[in-house]
Structure 1
Amino acid sequence: MPLPALSGPDYLRQGLKLVLSPGLRLFVLLPLGINLVLFVGLIYFAGHEFSLWVNQLMPELPSWLSFLNYILWPLFVTLVVLMVFFTFTMVANIIAAPFNGFLAEKVEVVVTGKDEFPAFSWAELLAMVPRTLSREMRKLAYYLPRAVGLLVLSLIPGVNVIAAPLWLMFGVWMMAIQYIDYPADNHKLSWQDMLAWLRRKRWASLSFGGSVYLVLLIPVVNILMMPAAVAGATLFWVRERGDARLVPA
């Protein structure tokens, strides 16, 4: 009998528990190191440019409306934070994609008790690079037009006040796509079929994506939680598919 599905936070919590287990730690260290280097570089750059970005996005108000600056400034700070977060997440996942794909394979072996994947080797890892990078480019092609539309919206005075909540909703959906795609791709599920499957599981997907999104917004914690998100997404994939042969994680 299939095990019951979990809530979004439960998937993430179980994912963290899985990546901390002795059998999976090896597959976590490399993507963790890559994310750490990238995160430090991005924070250093963003720290120098942050005020400039906020000032460029803030609309110029007439003097009699200057009091609105105290309301709008936190909104546009939030908008810049979301944009920086999105950039870091997308770039980090593109670079770490082969390692994340391999981690998803090993997590699935642990939670299903079945090993239908090749044994770990550097040759096998290198063989995954073209496929995983191609899939990341497909995610980027899905993301960029929508992100550009939101960015344009962010630059239109008056209308841009709704940009931050739209970025948030889009970000939650993208987090579900980003991480659940790893196990889906390992099973050769096409991009369109993967999206259709997520839409059928829309509320469960958004629950998981929202949990990942909130945790990954926390500096330093986000680096540690990225592998947990991969593991949680793999558990989501297996449980939501209702695999009757699943064993407890």
Structure 2
Amino acid sequence: MLKTIKRILGGFGTLNGATYPFKALITFIKNPRLIKYIVIPIVVNIIVAIALYSGLLFFGLQIVNDVQADLTLWLNQLVTNLPQWLGFLTYLVAGFIIIVRLLIIVVLLIATGFLLTQFGVLLGAPWYGQLSEQLEKTLTGKVELIELNIAGDLARAILYELKKLVLIALVGIPLLLINFFPGVGTVVSSIGSLTLTTTIVCLDFLDSCLERRRLSFRQKLGIVFKSLPASGSFGLVCLGLISIPLLNLITIPLCVASGTLFICDRLKATVR
């Protein structure tokens, strides 16, 4: 039994995938020359973060406050109409409201971190590409690169973003509709949305290494699915790291680097 659990967690890569951001941190410590490749992306992230957090997060918290006020009023009206001996429910209502508020704030932070990643990775792509190349050269001794002209690179980048939007729409819209069914629908929608977000995050952080090989969007998606559960735990940890305000300014470049480590390890395993 113990060997089976160890195989599931270790051999199948569940825990291994989650360790790559920390492996990337160790790599930066051992190779400080790589730090210069993340300076400009961090500056880009700061600019994008100021715009997102001052706008989206500000209005988001306003909505959270409005939802909390409406929910408090509605629940208090329900408690008021109950018999006096059920007065203890007032404390339960207060606790429930606090939990709902915290959950909404967590979702808001995840959404803001996700958007920061989309813009940050896109705008910092040239520098992240150089970082990924240097990392792969350090790890494998060589860099696989299929050259294209500027127009070709730009076309692929635009097409890649459009295909991500199509994937989000094809999966996200049905999940949104399922959410209207209370109970099971809400659970399915929540799990599905988290899976979709993790998949997109995983694609973004693996892309610097995969794009040099000029793989199609379907091939990149296939690598994510074939690498499960390691890619799943990798994506979840990265999603958590990019959702922490201020810290995500640094963790986004760290996750990009960890994506290169992830792919390089899989390439080594394939060669063996």
| TM-score range relative to shorter protein | 0.7 to 0.9
Corresponding residue number in structure 1 for 2:4: none
For 1:231, which of 257, 263, 270 is the aligned residue? 257
RMSD of the alignment, in Å? 3.5
For 1:1-249, list aligned pairs within 5 A: 7-19=16-28, 21-54=31-64, 61=74, 63-64=77-78, 67=93, 68-117=96-145, 128-150=153-175, 156=180, 158=182, 162=187, 164-242=190-268
Task: Find the aligned partners of 2:52 and 2:225 in 1 and give their Cα distance.
Answer: 32
Tell me, yes or no, if the aligned pair for 2:45 and 2:249 is still in contact at 8 Å.
yes
For residue 44 of structure 1, report the CA deviation from its aligned partner: 1.3
For residue 46 of structure 1, report the CA deviation from its aligned partner: 3.1
For residue 35 of structure 1, report the CA deviation from its aligned partner: 0.9
For residue 19 of structure 1, report the CA deviation from its aligned partner: 4.1
Corresponding residue number in structure 1 for 2:86: none
Task: Find the aligned partners of 2:136 and 2:78 in 1 and give their Cα distance.
Answer: 60
Tell me, yes or no, if the aligned pair for 1:76 and 1:164 is still in contact at 8 Å.
no
Gaps of 5+ in 2: 1-10, 80-89
For residue 82 of structure 1, report the CA deviation from its aligned partner: 2.4
Counterpart of 1:139 in structure 2: which amino acid? K
For residue 208 of structure 1, report the CA deviation from its aligned partner: 0.9
Task: Find the aligned partners of 2:133 and 2:162 in 1 and give their Cα distance.
Answer: 20
Identity of aligned residues (%): 21
Distance 1:50 1:161, change over 3 A: same
Tell me, yes or no, if the aligned pair for 2:20 and 2:261 is still in contact at 8 Å.
yes
- Higher alpha-carbon deviation: 140-149 or 58-67: 58-67
Gaps of 5+ in 1: none
Counterpart of 2:241 in structure 1: which amino acid? V
Tell me, yes or no, if the aligned pair for 2:146 and 2:212 is still in contact at 8 Å.
no
Tell me, yes or no, if the aligned pair for 2:202 and 2:234 is still in contact at 8 Å.
yes
Counterpart of 1:64 in structure 2: which amino acid? L
For residue 174 of structure 1, report the CA deviation from its aligned partner: 2.2
Task: Find the aligned partners of 1:205 and 1:72 in 2 and give their Cα distance.
Answer: 30
For residue 69 of structure 1, report the CA deviation from its aligned partner: 3.5
Please state whether the residue corresponding to 1:93 is helix, strand or coil. Answer: helix
For residue 175 of structure 1, report the CA deviation from its aligned partner: 1.9
Aligned length: 239
- Higher alpha-carbon deviation: 130-139 or 227-236: 130-139
Distance 1:43 1:151, change over 3 A: farther
Distance 1:180 1:189, change over 3 A: same
Tell me, yes or no, if the aligned pair for 1:30 and 1:99 is still in contact at 8 Å.
yes
Counterpart of 2:52 in structure 1: which amino acid? L
Task: Find the aligned partners of 2:146 and 2:214 in 1 and give their Cα distance.
Answer: 15
Q: Normalising by the residue count of structure 1, what TM-score does the alignment of the two structures yield?
A: 0.78
Q: Comparing both structures, which one devotes a greater share of its residues to helix?
A: 2
For residue 47 of structure 1, report the CA deviation from its aligned partner: 4.2
- Higher alpha-carbon deviation: 76-85 or 158-167: 158-167
Task: Find the aligned partners of 2:56 and 2:153 in 1 and give their Cα distance.
Answer: 32
Distance 1:151 1:79, change over 3 A: farther
Structure ranking higher on relative contact order (CA contacts 8 Å, 6+ apart):
1
